[in-house]
Amino acid sequence: MSKLSYGPVLFNWSPETWRDAHFRIADEAPIDSVQLGEIVCSKRAPFLAPHLPAVIERLQAAGKEVILASPALVTTERERQAVRELIESADLPIEANDIGALPHLAGRPHMVGPLVNVYNEQALAWMAKRGATRVTLPAEIAGPAIATIAAAAQALSVEVEVQVFGRLPLAISARCYHARALGLHKDGCQFVCGQDADGMEVTTLDGEAFLAVNGTQTLSQSYHALLPELGALTGAGVTRFRLWPHACDMVAVARLFRDVLDGHAEPGPALETLRGLLGGAELANGYYHGKQGVAFAAE
């Protein structure tokens, strides 16, 4: 059976908002696994820590698989030590989102997140040999390449996960553009990224929507949406489908994807419902179809 995954929250939501969003996912959403952890900015992590045990308990009580996600860009010794401690002390599965986490996970079962580049069968085999049991592919991979990697994964007994909803993580930097855009430095950022629940939209000089910024992270401006492609992905051997959390009704989003996966809803009407849930925001699926990522190509 195809399974839905709820990725780590990329944005700087208030601790209470973050907690309550996960409580609702636990109680109401047809989600199979949930990744938890601050993967964008280590400065945010202490705010979530007090709520983490209660969120884990609630999710597990609801039958969800809970996975701890490691940071995406580790640049300081303090951050490296935090990754080591996370891996050494965790009694839950770990998802690596930085290549530096992999040596600490070698020889034990673990997941590989979408921010570690796995673009071909050779990279997948290397990950599997070191203990990876599930790999989430980068969003830029087109459908035929996904199918090739998924076929190789089946032979290696590795699950393949594909990102199917949300603003896509495109890049991450040691510098914080979000702070600089508001006249602040990274060390004194005042956590201004918390003002933008789904990222700060960036426009071109001509005023056209271009990208979104989330602290040190660059995201797509449009929302990746692979509802019509779920059947082809399932047929290719993809078993997991990742939803990135946003400030919309994520329970309703999860139900849409679950209904299409189960054949209880048609992709076309589901897409229109999804647009409504996002307030008419632009959708995109270009990468899957070998086009510009921002494009939306009909099946």
Q: Given pLDDT bands bounded at 50, 70 and 90, which one contains residue 36?
A: very high
Please tell me the CATH superfamily of domain 3-168+223-275, with its number. Answer: Phosphoenolpyruvate-binding domains (3.20.20.60)
C-alpha to C-alpha distance for 168 and 217, rounded to whole angstroms = 10
Q: Is the alpha carbon torsion for 172, 173, 176, 181 positive or negative?
A: negative
Confidence label for 250 from pLDDT (cuts 50, 70 and 90): very high
SS3 category, 248: coil
Taking a C-beta distance cutoff of 8 angstroms, is the pair 55, 80 a contact?
A: no
pTM of the model: 0.95
pLDDT at 75: 87
* For residues 220-239, average pLDDT: 97
**pLDDT for 136 beyond 90:** yes
E strand or H helix at 105, and its extent? helix 102-105
Residue 192: what pLDDT?
87
Per-residue pLDDT at 82 exceeds 70: yes
What is the predicted pLDDT for the residue at 1? Answer: 80
Q: Is pLDDT at 240 greater than 90 in this prediction?
A: yes
Q: Measure Cα distances from 68 to 6, 12, 132, 262 in Å.
A: 12, 17, 14, 28
* C-alpha span between 192 and 234 (Å, rounded): 40
pLDDT tens digits, one per residue of 152-165: 999 999 999 999 99
Share of the chain above pLDDT 90, in %: 85
Instruction: Please give the average per-residue pLDDT across 114-139, as a whole number.
Output: 96
Assign 278 to helix, strand or coil: coil
At residue 207, does pLDDT exceed 90?
Answer: no
Residue 199 has pLDDT above 90, yes or no: yes
Mean pLDDT of 219-233: 97
Which pLDDT band, with edges at 50, 70 and 90, does 299 fall under? low
Domain ranges of the chain: 3-168+223-275
On the question of pLDDT at 188 being above 90, the answer is no
Q: Is the pLDDT of residue 298 over 80?
A: no
